[in-house]
Amino acid sequence: MSLPQANAGFSLVEVMIAVLILGVAIVGLTQGFTTALASSKESELQATAALFAAGQIETLRAETGLADASTDGDCGADLPHYRWRQTIAPTDIAGLHEITVAVEQKQTGELVFELKTLLFERPEEASVKSTKNKARGGGESP
């Protein structure tokens, strides 16, 4: 007759080490998911801000009579915690304007996205528009 084995199961120390290893693995996995979600949200915000800035520039491109100035405003319902700032500056070439559209956080003022481009408006177009406004009694365009 043989005696039953005394060490046929797991000891308490072995179980505690296994639980510790499992706990460390779960914490690491959770942090990985959290980082991935935060990166995904940041990427979505960057893409939305880029599209918003491009839309602002396209609006300027569609208008005539660019005025060298700085304007700002809220980004609307799509980006409720952000604001935009647009700067139109002259260059050395007549009719060429440097456009900068920046999207930043409202509370901290931290820059989220900035888009710069050059827009050309023929000087004749600006003078023709001004002449048409005067003929209508509108005076100078805003």
pLDDT digits (tens, 9 = 90+) for 86-124: 999 999 988 899 999 999 999 898 999 999 999 998 766
How does pLDDT run across 53-80, given as a tens digit for each residue?
Answer: 999 999 988 887 888 999 999 988 878 8
- Locus of tokens 């900035």: 114
Query: What total of structural domains would you count in the chain?
Result: 1
Within a domain: residue 4?
A: no
Is residue 118, in this structure, part of any structural domain at all?
yes
Q: Does residue 3 form part of some domain?
A: no
CA distances from 44 to 4, 28, 52, 90, 109 (A): 63, 24, 12, 33, 19
pLDDT at 85: 95
Share of the chain above pLDDT 90, in %: 50
Is pLDDT of 28 > 50?
yes
Kindly state whether residue 73 falls inside one of the protein's structural domains: yes
Residue 124: give the domain boundaries: 12-135
Place of tokens 């996995």: 29
- Asked if residue 141 is part of any domain, the answer here is no
Could you tell me the CATH number of the domain that includes residue 131? 3.30.1300.30
Strand spans (E) along 62-110: 70-74, 82-90, 96-105
Does the residue 61 lie in any domain?
yes
Domain annotation covers residue 2: no
pTM comes to 0.65
Asked, for residue 121, whether it belongs to a domain, the answer is: yes
Residue 73 CB partners (closer than 8 Å, separation 6+): 83, 84
Helix runs in the chain, H state only: 12-62, 123-135
CB 112 within 8 A of CB 46: yes
pLDDT at 130: 54
